[in-house]
Amino acid sequence: GIIKAQLLTSNNELLAEYFQSPRTTTTEESQAPATFHPRGHVFHWRSIEVFEPIVYQGSVVGQLMIQVSLAMVNHTLIRYVQIGFIGFLIYALLVLLIARRLQRMITDPIHSLAQSMQQISEDQDYSLRVQKQSNDELGLLFDGFNSMLEELERRDLALRENKSHLDYLAYHDPLTKLANRLLFNDRLEHSMVRAKRLISRIAILFIDMDRFKHINDSLGHDVGDRVLCTVAERLQSQVR
């Protein structure tokens, strides 16, 4: 509201004055002496002073000054600042929550992928697969990793099969599929150590084929090979 009003002459003489009733305002602005000012306004922290000249027949004969309180405006501005600050805090909190959510959406799948890679590396188990969690770029990464595991699993299986086949060829005769001398020596050494530890005995059975050379010379090596295979099958059927 209006705090003070003054009516001045052009000689800066005070003709009339109004103060807010009751007169309780003690601010420097309200207690300042009357001064003639050009047309316009002056801002203070708690009030604004408006100066309007009084013109009569083209001449300035006086001036009207009205001082208006800015308490309501200041109060409103402070409330707006408070509301804006609270809104900023809420907005910052929402941004933080969304950022943490987005971070977890990105870091959790990557962390899961890293754990799976470590487990596969330690266990050498290429049959494991990582669980795809989305269809975005991370999902494509998981698909590529699973495809790589499938290829590694196929190669590992092929290597195991080749190694098993090579081990079999190293200890067995390729024609009769019976154990060769290398496997015989290994089993014999193992049996001798076991017999010594248990204070027991072992027996070795030696089997020879008479006139086998005659079969090869008269009937050919193909027939001799079939004879060897037949004897091998009969021997295998009689032992464990």
Model pLDDT for residues 178-236, shown as the tens digit of each residue: 888 888 888 889 989 988 899 888 888 888 888 888 888 888 888 888 888 888 888 88
The two three-digit tokens of residue 55, written as one number: 């013109």
Cross-strand pairs, 67: 4, 49
What are phi and psi for residue 192, nearest 5 degrees? Answer: -65, -40
| Confidence at residue 123, expressed as pLDDT on a 0 to 100 scale | 80
pLDDT (tens digit per residue) in 102-137? 777 777 777 777 888 888 878 877 777 777 777 777
Q: Is the pLDDT of residue 23 over 60?
A: no
The two three-digit tokens of residue 34, written as one number: 């009357």
Amino acid of residue 87:
G
SS (H, E, C) 8-68: EECCCCEEEEEECCCCCCCCHHHHCCCCCCCCEEEECCCEEEEEEEEEECCEEEEEEEEEE
pLDDT (tens digit per residue) in 168-193? 888 888 888 888 888 888 888 998 99
| Confidence at residue 26, expressed as pLDDT on a 0 to 100 scale | 45
36 falls in which pLDDT band (50, 70, 90)? low
Q: Is the pLDDT of residue 25 over 50?
A: no
Q: Is the pLDDT of residue 100 over 90?
A: no
Cβ burial 26-42 (10 Å sphere, 16+ → b, else e): eeebbeeebebbeeeee
Q: What is the mean pLDDT of residues 139-161?
A: 84
Instruction: From 63, 54, 55, 69, select the one nearest 2 (Cα to Cα).
Output: 69
| Confidence at residue 80, expressed as pLDDT on a 0 to 100 scale | 93
CB 37 within 8 A of CB 51: yes
- 19's CB contacts (< 8 A; 6+ apart) are 3, 4, 25, 30
Q: What is the C-alpha separation between 21 and 31, in angstroms, rounded?
A: 15
Residues above pLDDT 70, as percent of the chain: 93
| Confidence at residue 210, expressed as pLDDT on a 0 to 100 scale | 82
| Confidence at residue 82, expressed as pLDDT on a 0 to 100 scale | 94
pLDDT (tens digit per residue) in 60-85? 888 888 888 888 888 888 999 999 99
94 falls in which pLDDT band (50, 70, 90)? very high
Q: What is the C-alpha separation between 24 and 9, in angstroms, rounded?
A: 26
Q: Is the pLDDT of residue 160 over 60?
A: yes
pLDDT averaged over the chain? Answer: 82
